Chains A and B, each alone.
Chain A
Amino acid sequence: MPTPPLIAFAHVGKSFDDGRVRAVDNVSLEVAAGEFLAIVGGSGSGKTTLLRLANRLIEADTGHITVEGYDVRAVDPVALRRRIGYVFQSGGLFPHFSVAGNIGITPKLQGLPAEEISAAVDELLELVRLDRALYRERFPHELSGGQRQRVGVARALAARPKIVLMDEPFGALDPLTRDALGDDYRALHDKLGLTTVMITHDMTEAILLADRVAVMGSGRLLAQGTPAELSRSGDSYVGELLRTPRRQAERLNVLLPRDGAA
Chain B
Amino acid sequence: MIPIAHYLILGGLLFAIGAVGVIVSRNLIVMFMSIELMLNAANLAIIAFSRSLNLMDGHVFVFLIMAVAAAEAAVGLAIIIAIFRNRETINADKFNLLRR
A and B are partners in one complex rather than unrelated chains: no
The interface of chain A, by Cβ under 8 A from chain B, is none
